A and B are shown apart, each in its own frame.
Chain A
Amino acid sequence: MQAMRLVAAALLCLNASVAAAGTLTATVLDQKGKPVEGAVVLVLEAKGKFKAPKKPAVMDQVGKKFVPHVLPVLVGTKVDFPNQDDIHHHVYSFSKTKRFDLPLYKGKPAEPVVMDSTGVVKLGCNIHDWMHGHIVVLPHPYFAVTGADGKASIEGVPAGKHRVGVWSNRRKEDPAESAQEAAVPKKGAAELRFSLKFGPVHGQEPPKGVGGRY
């Protein structure tokens, strides 16, 4: 999450010269009014060309889990898949957005993977079926991931009216369907509140109670 903010801050710096920019904060709640963590709040349309950062984004594997569970990146961003565990992992994606396969490895693979087209990259580990992660590749840098409090804050959004949506692996709907309009001031913040329907939490816990079928 800290890394996310840093990226956002970096992007903000890049665009600061272009136009006056404000902050967009959003709170995402589920159908029961509870805050939703790990949802991506994003601006649906943004004009302009954006250059991917040189520094790779990181999708760790810690304790046989993908960390973070959801990683939004600007298209063209390189993503490193360091393995923090002392066992091998075999990270792969069969998603159309990016197909890749990092056969069993320990530590950090030599080359990061470049997310060269927009869309969702579903990550899996061939030897740990329950591990799954999501890299959301976006065409612009105006996005943020909600924290445990369901809040996300996008800095440096050009002032003006924007349609803002929410993506979540717990929702099948296109983010456009949750679109809300936000008027971002030149200085200060616009606030949005999303109350959406979410599917059940899909965690990365290994299965329990296996066996005993004989």
Chain B
Amino acid sequence: VSFRHKLLASFLGLLCAVLAVSLWAVQRLETRRAERELETGLEMTRAGFEDLLAAHDRELASALKLLSGDFAFKQAVATRDPATVLSAALNHRARMGADLLLVAGDDGALLADTRRPKAGRGKAPAFVKAALEGKAASGIFVLDGAAYQLAAVSVNAPDPIGAVAAGFLIDDKVAASLKRLTRAEVSFLVDGVVAGSTLGTDGRASLAGHAPSLSGAPRRLTLGGARWLAAASTTRAPVTAVVLRSWDEALGPLRAMQSRLLAVGALGLAAAFLVGLFIAKGLTASLETLARAAAAVGEGRYDVDPRIPGTDEIARLGRAFAEMAKGLLEREKIRSILHKSVSKEIAESLVSQGKIELGGEEKEVTVLFSDIRSFTSISESLAPKELVAQLNDYFTGMARAIDAHHGVIDKYIGDAVMALFGAPLSRPDDAANALRAALAMGEALDRLNGERAAKGLPAWHFGVGINTGPVVAGTLGSEQRWSYTVIGDAVNAASRLESATKELGARIVVSARTKQLAGAGFRWKPLGRINVKGKSESLEVFELLGLERGQTPS
């Protein structure tokens, strides 16, 4: 799995998680809110039902009180003539706007029933008889399967001569009026039978089955494919008022909010996908560029420049990488030139400084000069090409000896070699190294002469001068063309010692200072003092004969 895919996946995963959590939170909050709202609504409808019944109770009570006190009505009741009583009852039922009026005689016989004008006389319902005995008689009663809210009072003249009851039918109309007021579906159940309802046929049929479980706290139920929150009022036995509020309707805002959230979420996801893709692409492209550049550097190609636009961390990394490659390239260039033109030590020293700076430092250095004797006549006797070939053989041996003893070849001057011990790097045994190098050079020349003799060539001889003293060591020249060298009286003195070898008849001439610094381990022959150009004082010199017994050459 690539970095790009990981980045993209985590990006989108996070967004999905945020979306899911917000959906869940909204669902939870909205559902609770809807439930509370529905419960409040159900309570309102329940209270509305109670209020309606209470209002009807009062209405019936006052209407009946007036009716029972009506003298003409009393007279009519007193006649006990069914036709007259019924006629009066119908008249008063219309006046009251009631659905039902019943009149009973003081013997409990039913004198009139406005529902059944032609029916014969029978017994009045029990609650009407209760009214005859002066008992409060009101409530909900079931007459022939229909539920009525009824009230009954006695007709006094002045003692009871009968009773009159009036009432309202609890039916679909009542349910509808409650629904208008409270926006809830209302049903009235009497003994498990729906007496009135705002529901359709299916709802009514399934409601009856649910009725027993509805008392108590509001609960959810499904009727006719719709979900409801239902509550029941059982305070008016035998009627149970079942109040339903649509759960789906209450959750409408939630559904709308959810779909909106989902749409916004989908858009967000798409946008995040594109942005993520773009960022990941940019990032990984930059990383790939860097990786390619790094691989190129690994292969030694330093001319890379991973250009990454922008100012962010990756862009800075790109620029730093380019700088690094540039630095590496520069050093490599320096190193490659230096290694060929100057000694390894000088080259490394310069490279470690990072750049070539003209100028130098003052330090004590041992300087060695060697020179082939009678080179002028040798060069005249040889063809230039042959001369160069023989010189190169000679120089190879000399350079090896100097190198072996940590010396640095400063330059070749014709047949002469100038070597430094202690520059650019100082060592504690620079002087001794120089002496050993000189001895090694002598041995190398002896070996060369053996080879030359085998080839029938004449032997060469050389002189070596060694001196130690303070010099200025550094790069000298212009920025385009320069060389590392040392300048100072000690250098001139060393050259003078080399020149003096011929007249002194010695192979290796060393100054007292060098001898002193080199310490024990060498065999010497004092040569007295010689004058040096530009120096008022003469210089004490010694011939280096070799190593003391027991000393190893290197």
Listed in ascending order, the chain A residues whose CB lies under 8 Å from chain B are: 90, 92-94, 99, 101, 122-126, 129-132, 213
Besides A92-B71, A129-B158, A130-B158, 7 more A-B contacts (Cβ < 8 Å) are A94-B157, A94-B161, A99-B78, A123-B158, A124-B158, A131-B158, A132-B158
- Which residues of B from 70 to 128 have beta carbons under 8 Å from A? 71, 74-75, 78
CB-based nearest A residue for B155: A94
Decide yes or no whether B159 CB sits under 8 A from chain A: yes
What CA separation (Å) do A130 and B157 show in the bound complex?
A: 10
Q: Let me know if B159 and A132 touch, CB within 8 A.
A: yes
**Which of A99, A101, A123, A129 contacts B69, CB < 8 Å?**
A129
Closest approach, in angstroms, between the C-beta of B361 and any C-beta of chain A? 119
Give CA–CA (A101, B161) in the complex, Å.
Answer: 16
- Provide the B61-73 mask, 1 if CB < 8 A to any CB of A, else 0: 0000000010100
Q: Could you write out 21 A-B pairs with CB less than 8 Å apart?
A: A92-B157, A93-B157, A94-B74, A94-B75, A94-B78, A94-B157, A99-B78, A101-B75, A122-B157, A122-B158, A122-B159, A123-B158, A124-B156, A124-B157, A124-B158, A125-B158, A126-B71, A129-B158, A131-B158, A132-B159, A213-B58
Chain B residues closer than 8 Å to A126, beta-carbon distance? 71
3 smallest A-B Cβ distances: which pairs? A94-B78, A124-B158, A132-B158
Given the complex of chains A and B, what is the CA–CA distance between A123 and B159 in angstroms? 9
Shortest beta-carbon distance from A141 to chain B in Å: 26
Contacts of B157 in A (CB 8 A): 92-94, 122, 124
> In the complex the two chains form, what is the Cα distance from A99 to B156 in whole Å?
15
Q: B150-171 toward A: CB 8 Å interface, digit per residue (1/0)?
A: 0000001111010000000000
Closest to B58 in A: A213
Residue picked from A93, A94, A101, A129, most chain B C-beta under 10 Å? A94
Q: Nearest chain-B residue to A126 (Cβ)?
A: B71
* B157-189 interface with A by 8 A CB criterion: 157-159, 161
Q: Is the interface of B mostly helix, strand, loop or mixed?
A: helix
A213 to B57, CA, bound (A): 13
Of the listed residues B75, B78, B158, B159, the one surrounded by the most CB atoms of chain A closer than 10 A to its CB is B158
**B119-159 Cβ-contact flags toward A at 8 Å (1 or 0):** 00000000000000000000000000000000000001111
B75 contact set on A, CB distance < 8 A: 94, 101
Chain A binding site: helix, strand, loop or mixed by DSSP?
A: strand
Nearest Cβ distance between residue B67 and chain A, in whole angstroms? 13
Bound together, the chains give a CA A105 to CA B184 distance in angstroms of 58
- Provide the residues of chain B in CB contact with A90, threshold 8 Å: 71
Interfacial chain A residues near B158, Cβ < 8 Å: 122-125, 129-132
Residues of B in contact (CB 8 Å), total 11
Most buried by B among A101, A124, A131: A124
A99 to B161, CA, bound (A): 13
How far is it, in angstroms, between the C-alpha of A93 and the C-alpha of B158 when the chains are bound? 9
Chain B neighbourhood of A213, CB < 8 A = 58
Residues of A within 8 A of B69 (CB): 129
Q: Which has the most chain B C-beta neighbours within 10 Å: A90, A123, A125, A126?
A: A126
* Cα-based distance from A94 to B156 in the complex (angstroms): 10
Task: A213 to B58: give the CA distance in the assembly, Å.
Answer: 10
Most buried by A among B71, B156, B157: B157
Closest Cβ–Cβ distance, residue B78 to chain A (whole Å)? 4
| A130 contacts across to B, CB distance below 8 A | 158
Complex alpha-carbon distance, A123 and B161, angstroms: 12
Chain B residues positioned under 8 Å from A131 (CB to CB): 158
Q: Point out the residues of chain B lying under 8 angstroms from A93, CB to CB.
A: 157
- How far, in angstroms, from A94 to B69 measured CA to CA in the complex? 14
What residues of chain B lie closer than 8 Å to A123, measured between beta carbons?
A: 158
CA distance A126 to B74 in the complex (A): 10
A129 to B158, CA, bound (A): 7
Bound CA span A94–B158, Å: 9
Q: How far is the CA of A99 from the CA of B157 in the complex (A)?
A: 11
By beta carbon, the residue of chain A nearest B159 is A122
Q: Which residue of B lies closest to A101 (CB)?
A: B75
In the complex, how many angstroms separate the beta carbon of A7 from the nearest chain B beta carbon?
25
User: Chain A contacts of B71 at CB under 8 A?
Assistant: 90, 92, 126
Give A101 to B74 CA distance when docked, in angstroms: 12
Q: Could you mark each residue 412-450 of chain B with 1 if its beta carbon is under 8 Å from any beta carbon of chain A, else 0?
A: 000000000000000000000000000000000000000
User: B78, B156, B161: which contacts A129 (Cβ < 8 A)?
Assistant: B156
Question: Which residues of chain B are near A122, meaning CB under 8 Å?
Answer: 157-159
Task: Kindly report which residue of chain B lies nearest to residue A127, judged by CB atoms.
Answer: B71
Q: Give the distance in Å from the alpha carbon of A122 to the alpha carbon of B155 in the complex.
A: 14
A17 to B420, CA, bound (A): 193
A101 CB contacts on chain B under 8 angstroms: 75
Q: How far is the CB of B154 from chain A (nearest CB, A)?
A: 12
Distance in angstroms from B107 CB to nearest chain A CB is 12
B72 to chain A, nearest CB (A): 10
**CA of A99 to CA of B58, assembled, Å:** 34
How far is A90 from B74 in the complex, measured between Cα atoms in Å?
A: 14
B residues within 8 A CB of A125?
Answer: 158
CA distance A122 to B58 in the complex (A): 30
- Specify the chain B residue showing the minimal Cβ separation from A214: B58
| Alpha-carbon distance between A131 and B161 when the two chains are bound, in angstroms | 16
Q: Taking the nearest CB of chain B, how far is it from the CB of A100, in angstroms?
A: 12
User: Which chain B residue has the least Cβ–Cβ distance from A99?
Assistant: B78
Q: How far, in angstroms, from A92 to B78 measured CA to CA in the complex? A: 12
Across the two chains, which residue of chain A brings its CB closest to B161? A94
Chain B residues within 8 Å of A94, by CB:
74-75, 78, 157, 161
Q: CA separation between A196 and B161, bound complex, in Å? A: 26
Complexed CA–CA distance, A38 and B359 (Å): 154
Docked CA distance A126–B156 (Å): 10
Nearest residue (CB) in B for A94 is: B78
Q: How far is the CA of A131 from the CA of B159 in the complex (A)?
A: 10
How distant is A121 from chain B, measured CB to nearest CB, in Å? 11
Chain A residues, Cβ within 8 Å of B161: 94
Query: Which residue in chain A gives the minimum CB-CB distance to B68?
Result: A129
A123 to B156, CA, bound (A): 11
Q: In the bound complex, how far is the Cα of B74 from the Cα of A124, in angstroms?
A: 11
